[in-house]
């Protein structure tokens, strides 16, 4: 009986494993000019991090609840990318057909250091780090984390937390419900929360 139980337990991770679909797109930009990255997605976890000069790399991982792979035509049927020079716009396609089995998305965008970020997420998380800025991050429900931004940061959250570390210029942080934590902001911060704690170090 013990052998049977061990065998069944060994099969559990496999049976409950969530299939993933991965999509990648790489854009070439001019190294001598700053990049303006403009993002608007409905839901998911968004990461914008320093990668390498001269290119913007967009990676999407979709996890599903059933043994189903998303269509290879993810770009541009679900996520549209519009590039005009060094201005890159990334948008969820309105009324795009996304299978109900797709339950979570992780967006990772690697950018040059000289990048300005404008990001809007309805629900999920935003993590932005290692870029020149400025950064303007808006999220309806979820958390915003920004670190090592040379210029200013504006973070606005409907419900969720804001965590900012090592920001070179002035910071504006607001959340309707949630906590705000700020560390090493030499140019000061305006912080406001409707229901939560504010911690400044």
Q: For residue range 33-85, list pLDDT tens digits in order.
A: 999 999 999 888 999 999 999 999 999 888 766 655 555 666 666 788 999 99
Joined tokens for residue 39? 């993002």
Those residues with Cβ within 8 angstroms of residue 170's Cβ, 6 or more apart along the chain or in another chain: 152, 187, 188, 189, 190
> Nearest Cα to 65, choosing from 21, 19, 96?
19
The answer to whether the beta carbons of residues 35 and 88 sit under 8 Å apart is: yes
Joined tokens for residue 9? 């337990």
Radius of gyration of the chain (CA): 19
Q: For residue range 118-143, list pLDDT tens digits in order.
A: 999 999 999 999 999 999 999 999 99
Which stretches within 48-133 are classed as H helix? 74-77
């Amino acid at each position: 009986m013990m052998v049977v139980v061990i065998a069944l337990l060994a099969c559990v991770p496999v049976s409950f494993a969530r299939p993933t679909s991965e999509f990648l797109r790489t854009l070439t930009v001019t190294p001598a000019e700053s990049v303006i990255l403009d993002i608007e997605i409905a839901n998911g976890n968004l990461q914008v991090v320093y990668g390498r000069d001269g290119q913007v790399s967009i990676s999407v991982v979709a996890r599903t609840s059933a043994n189903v792979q998303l269509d290879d035509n993810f770009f541009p049927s679900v996520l549209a990318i519009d590039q005009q020079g060094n201005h890159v716009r990334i948008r969820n396609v309105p009324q795009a057909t996304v299978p109900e089995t797709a339950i979570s998305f992780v967006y990772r965008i690697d950018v040059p250091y000289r990048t300005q970020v404008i990001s809007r997420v309805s629900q999920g998380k935003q993590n932005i780090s290692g870029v020149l800025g400025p950064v303007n991050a808006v999220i309806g429900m979820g958390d915003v984390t920004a670190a090592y931004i040379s210029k200013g940061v504006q973070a606005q959250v409907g419900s969720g937390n804001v965590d900012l570390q090592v920001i070179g210029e002035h910071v504006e942080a607001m959340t309707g419900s949630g906590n705000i934590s700020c560390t090493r902001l030499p140019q000061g911060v305006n912080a406001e929360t409707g229901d939560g704690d504010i911690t400044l170090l």
